[in-house]
Structure 1
Amino acid sequence: MTKIVVTGLGAFSPLGTNATDSWNAVLDGESGARSLKYEWVEKYQIPVTFAATVPAPTSDFLERQEIKRLDPSSQFALIAAREAFADAGSPEVVPERLGVDWATGIGGVWTLLDAWDTLREKGPRRVLPMTVPMLMPNGPAAAIEMSLGARAFARTVVSACASSTESIANAYEHLTSGLADIVIAGGSEAAVHPLPMASFAAMQALSKRNDDPAAASRPYDSGRDGFVLGEGAAAIVLETEEHAKARGAKIYAYLVGGAVTSDSYHITAPDPEGSAAARAMKAAVENAGFALSDVAHVNAHATSTPVGDVAEVKALRRIFGDHLDSIPVTATKSATGHLLGGAGAIEAIFTVKALQERVIPPTINLDAQDPEVTLDVVTEPRKLPEGDLLAISNSFGFGGHNAVVAFQSA
């Protein structure tokens, strides 16, 4: 069977402008959440005044013309994808054998709403002709494939907060089925905008700790009161082991499987019993030829919402049983906030790096663990043992979307 390897990593996240800085920051227990300085926070009286925003302007990395013609979600994607491709050694590959599997949860919301304001205030002639290409959810995938010359395919997943994990699962299938030799997979989101923030706040989904943003994202803590909205992008370069070894590429880890299921339960709430989420975890592991007892680490979805965190615990307990007590679990959204469609991709990078460096990043802000969270939650960097290790990364999204990917140490 064709084996799939990870050969490149890239990130533009609330914790850093590249994958290395993001990884070091999450290991150090830093938070990417910060108070928002935008005038629209006060103008619209947004009840939540903080988010996990990227730490530098995209103008530090992109040409002026690229910024002008790309929505922020595409700008973030291009920065992360270029870094990942360079990290993989900028491999020479036949364009028809290079693909893109990308994802977003919301897409070009800044472009869409700015254009609507322009139309209302200045009329149709002032609406930019590039508005539709910029707001399209497939805009990030298109920007990446044109920048890197990928002609095998450029596909886009839009499945809320499960999006980029699903894109990685799709990339695994596309590589094992022979559709490409290399795939750039990942996701991006740029939704720190007054409308999404107002909507999330109205549904009581966001934390209201305006006085202490860095401590607001607190998965599994008894005092958690909602998630922290994040933005950014993350990308991983995946290729067949044969192709990677033929060009002498470094290998971070193996991507050994992925699975997608759906709850068919509720548009925003997870199935409280976690049955479909459990099926996704089980399938990702067993379809890869491993036993559930082989799993040595879980990077949980764990958004810091009262209902969602417990539902995932029930799903984990449903399939792992007593073995769950010996699996160290981490919730890195405590540091990054929730990148929505980009969340699974940055968490995939953290899972890969945990396997490569044999250390699990901590869950921060866990002061009093919820009694319903019957997990071994990692709160300080913890060493992983030597030998072959298997880890999974979970993502679940509005609409009942569940996606899980499994990585093996190289």
Structure 2
Amino acid sequence: MSVVITGIGAVTPAGIGIDPLWDSARDGTPLVGAIDRFDASEYACDAAGQAGFDARAELPSRFVKRTDRFTHLSVHAVRQALADARVTVGDQVTPERTGVMVGNILGGWEFAERELRHLWTDGPRAVSPYQATAWFPAAPQGNICIDQGIKGPARTYVADRASGAYALIGAAESLLRDRADVVIAGGVEAPLSPYGWLCMETSGLGAKSRASLAPHELYRPFDAGHGGSVFGEGAVFLAMERREHAERRGATVLGELAGWGVSTDGYMPYYTVEPTGQVLGRAMRTATERAGITGADLGAVFAHGSGIPFEDVTEGYALHEAFGARAGQLPVTAPKSGFGHLLGAAAPADTALALRAMREGVVPPTVNLDRKAPGIDLDLVADAARQVSGLEHTLVVSRGLGGVNACLLLRR
């Protein structure tokens, strides 16, 4: 029994859908720019990946008024994923056999900030009655279920930057346990509000603006000038099914989630990671073993590539821990440096790109990788996309604060 992906929906800084995201990643097009959503001039980093999505043009105005932007992004991306999979809840699958898994970190601070401002300036009666339901991380999950009439298993995963990967794993496990026939899984983040952006700044994970670099040059995974992530907003969701269910209804299979592995560093201080890469390496190895392959069968790695120096270096250590000498021969890339780290949506975005990469036989480049950082012994894809023959298996790496690790093994 295997789990396959049959549809993809995306709202990202590249635009609407997987095609513009793939085109920009393959071509190494930089999409990070100066924040124009609010005045970010006093922040350490005033650059982000911004999605040009107009919710009022795509969704009912009443719905937009009572929900936050991260819910808007999610609902629209899920609609795309279901359309791409040619699934209508209540037709190809019953509501009770349809599930939703969402990864998110911050919740909906754009809505919350506005209403808290009303509270302090105009008093309690000025606060929207939807404040209580609009901001919390599970809001997209609930609104997706309402929008699509879904009544099956539904969960929200909050595991820092690995949240989206955990959502995909949760979907696969629900399908294999026969708790659902179709699960919509992915992640979303909308960090572009003054308080949300302050949370990212105080996390210590973000890059800092530099006079010598343009906004789109700040995010530099594995580069000697790496100094942290530049974050972005977006939602990416996948329609997932058991293979036999997909084949029975004549669906187009985009790829298989053939294996996964999770681990937790349990390392202090909590804001760093285990320094040898052994624990992350174990999650990588578990993912390949679950898929029934070895490192010799891997065709490429979509790295977490946070641009945080100790995370970049230990990710390289982990690949060597998991795959030995083969690690130095694997094409490794982190295309998110072109459009921004999407936090809860980062792993689903990498998964969508990896599926397309296997189909095209092309690994997209890591943007802004000019000179490899010391201590990183990897075959990094830089400058331009690379043709890779026989690209049958790809590893997607995701990790969160405190060493929460999740790795996904995809099969073409």
The TM tier, using the shorter chain, reads over 0.9
Contact kept in structure 1, 2:49 and 2:233, CA below 8 Å? yes
Partner residue of 2:50 out of 49, 53, 63: 53
Partner residue of 1:87 out of 52, 71, 84: 84
CA distance 1:101–1:221, change in 2 (3 Å):
same
Taking only aligned residues, the RMSD between alpha carbons, in angstroms, comes to 1.5
Contact kept in structure 2, 1:166 and 1:404, CA below 8 Å? no
Partner residue of 2:279 out of 276, 299, 306: 276
Distance 1:199 1:128 in 2: 23
Contact kept in structure 1, 2:81 and 2:239, CA below 8 Å? yes
After TM superposition, give the deviation of residue 39 of structure 1 in Å: 4.2
Residue 67 in structure 1 maps to residue 64 in structure 2: yes
After TM superposition, give the deviation of residue 48 of structure 1 in Å: 1.8
Match of 1:248 in 2: 250
Distance 1:270 1:60 in 2: 43
After TM superposition, give the deviation of residue 120 of structure 1 in Å: 1.1
Match of 2:156 in 1: 156
> What secondary structure does 1:5 align onto?
strand
Match of 1:303 in 2: 306
Distance 2:379 2:341 in 1: 22
Give the TM-score normalised by structure 2. Answer: 0.95
Distance 1:406 1:354 in 2: 14
Match of 1:218 in 2: 220
Contact kept in structure 1, 2:277 and 2:317, CA below 8 Å? yes
Residue 76 in structure 1 maps to residue 73 in structure 2: yes
Match of 1:37 in 2: 36
Match of 1:201 in 2: 201
> What secondary structure does 2:146 align onto?
helix
After TM superposition, give the deviation of residue 215 of structure 1 in Å: 1.2
Partner residue of 1:330 out of 311, 328, 333: 333
Gaps of 5+ in 2: none
Partner deviation per Cα, 1:342-369 (whole Å, 9 max, x = no partner): 1111111011111122111111111111
After TM superposition, give the deviation of residue 199 of structure 1 in Å: 4.0
Partner deviation per Cα, 1:254-309 (whole Å, 9 max, x = no partner): 11122221111132212121222111111111122222322211100011111111
Distance 1:171 1:39 in 2: 36
Map 1:225-240 onto structure 2 (within 5 A).
Answer: 225-240=227-242
Match of 2:387 in 1: 383
Match of 1:108 in 2: 108
State the AA in 2 paired with 1:340: L
Distance 1:99 1:385 in 2: 36
CA distance 1:201–1:137, change in 2 (3 Å):
closer
Contact kept in structure 1, 2:28 and 2:335, CA below 8 Å? no
Aligned residues: 405
State the AA in 2 paired with 1:334: S
Contact kept in structure 2, 1:13 and 1:231, CA below 8 Å? yes
Distance 1:205 1:30 in 2: 23
CA distance 1:202–1:244, change in 2 (3 Å):
closer
Match of 1:339 in 2: 342
Match of 1:259 in 2: 261
> What secondary structure does 2:16 align onto?
coil
**Mean CA deviation greater in 49-58 or 72-81:** 49-58
User: Kindly, what percent of the aligned residue pairs are identical?
Assistant: 33
Contact kept in structure 2, 1:286 and 1:292, CA below 8 Å? no
> What secondary structure does 1:237 align onto?
strand
Distance 2:138 2:200 in 1: 23
CA distance 1:320–1:173, change in 2 (3 Å):
same
> What secondary structure does 2:354 align onto?
helix
Distance 2:18 2:345 in 1: 14
Gaps of 5+ in 1: none
Distance 1:55 1:322 in 2: 43
Give the TM-score normalised by structure 1. Answer: 0.95
State the AA in 1 paired with 2:11: F
